[in-house]
Structure formats: C-alpha cells, structure tokens
Amino acid sequence: RFSVVLDKKVLTKAKNLKFILCNATGIDHIDQVFAEKLGIQIISLKNQPLYLKKITASSELSWALIQSITRKIPFAFEDVKNNRWERERFLGMQLSGKNIGILGMGRNGKLVSKYALSFGMKIHFYDQRDIKTNKNFFKHDSLISLLKEIDILSIHLPLNDNTVNLLNYKVLKNLKKGSFIINTSRGEIINEEDLISLLDSGYIKAAALDVISDEKNFKRNKLIKYSNKNKNLLITPHIGGATYDSWANTENFVVDKLIEKLKNDN
C-alpha cells in the first residue's frame, strides 16, 4: 500500500515483474510512467466508478473527522482521561444551517454532500468538471468563490501537477476567519507550512487531516510536531479506506481483475 514506494530504483530491480496490484484509487506512490516503460501493468481501483460506489469507508471517515473537530471530541476525551470534567472548555459548533464546501465532487465528495444534507447543512462545491448533483447544491465557478462562502472545507481531490500546493496561504486566506478544514485526499494538496501559520494565528479554527506529505517520513512532519502542542489539529494515519470490509472487498476486486486479464490473455 502507500508505505511501499515503487519508484524507479525499486522497479529497475524487479526484473520479472509483470503486474502491480493496488486496492486504492490514488496510486501516486507508484512511478506509473516508468512502470509502463518497463511493460508493467498496474491494476488498481482507478477509473472504476461503478464498483467504487459501494466503497464508502473514506467518505465515512471524512464525516467522522468533521464531527470530531467541530465538537472537539478527541480533545474532550483526553481531558476526561486526565480526571477533568469541564464541558465549558469544549464548546463546539453545530452543523445544521452551516455552509460546507466540497472541493472535488467525485465519489467521496458526493457521499459527504449526502451526509451533510441529512444534517441540515447548505452544500457548496467546486469542480472543474461538469458534475450533475442535487439541484439545491450551489456550484461555484472558482475555488476562491467557494472558499469565501463556507464554514467547513472538505477536500476530495486527486494529487497531480495541478493540485500540488493548491491550497496555500494566499488561497486559504479567502476562507472566513474561524473556518474548519478536512483533508482525506492527499497531504501535498495543502501547503503545510501555510496551514500551520493559519492555525497558529487562529485564522483557521481547526483542521482534521487523514493525510500528510511524505508519510513514509512522518516523524519529520511539522504538522505532527504542531499537533503535539496545540488542540486545533487532529491527524489520523491515512485510515480513510482502512476498514476490514473495504480492504477485503477491494483486495478481492483487484485480484479478480488480474485473473480475468490472465484468462483473456490466454
């Protein structure tokens, strides 16, 4: 999975490798261009929209993080474990009536929108594609327009050349002061130095992240160091798709795809 980086150095040594199986949609931990050059085929969940409709683990975690950070759940629990019972220290924000911004209205973005609707939230989104959604959702024609209107930003973008550092200081300052950020896509989409600065100043109320940059060397990450001293940043170790049922289901899917390919080739 993501902890195993299949770069040019590794792939060069894999003389007999013909297939790489990955039960995920994001395969940026694999050097896809070099793999193709070597004739190695990658079988993943990428471009499998019909099948992925029944895989909801990542979007469910996004919603769990939204509730955790707006109601300060993990920090309140830590306080109770330290023998305190001070509810006034953990006043949160109710979701009903608030504006949520979905950045990337793909499978996970649509599912999070569905959850938000059931909580009585107003749904805003930005996606460069022509997306069909609920007629009551507000589609923005730019990222900046989206950010200016929302209380919570939920990120659901793929990582590519256009999205690396997409959310930097200049862009994020378009959020209303006191906004929340949720990221379950890829860490590199947010400029982490800028996020720390905005969290530290209080401009961004809090953030919940399931992803960070360079996860293989997570101990060096400044966000984790910041979270050790502050109560407005929640980080989980890329567990979005990590449930027993989703892993079993998706592992079987990519193996079945391989078997089908081998049968067809013969």
Those residues with Cβ within 8 angstroms of residue 79's Cβ, 6 or more apart along the chain or in another chain: 86, 89, 90
127 to each of 73, 76, 115, 157, how far by Cα in Å?
31, 35, 19, 9
> Which is nearest to 27 in space by CA: 241, 231, 191?
241
Q: CA of 253: how far to CAs of 60, 83, 108, 238, 247, in Å?
A: 21, 47, 19, 21, 10
In three state form, how does the secondary structure of 80-101 look? HHCCCCCHHHHCCCCCCCCEEE
Angle between helices 73-81 and 57-70 (to 10 degrees): 60
Q: How far is CA 112 from CA 56, 57, 61, 180, 184, in A?
A: 10, 11, 10, 15, 11
Q: Catalytic positions, please?
A: 186, 215, 238
DSSP states along 126-188:
E-SS-----TTSEE-SSHHHHHHH-SEEEE----STTTTT-B-HHHHTTSPTTEEEEE-S-GG
Residue type, 12: T
Q: Is 55 helix (H, G, I), strand (E, B) or coil?
A: coil
Residues contacting residue 86 through CB under 8 Å, at least 6 positions apart:
79
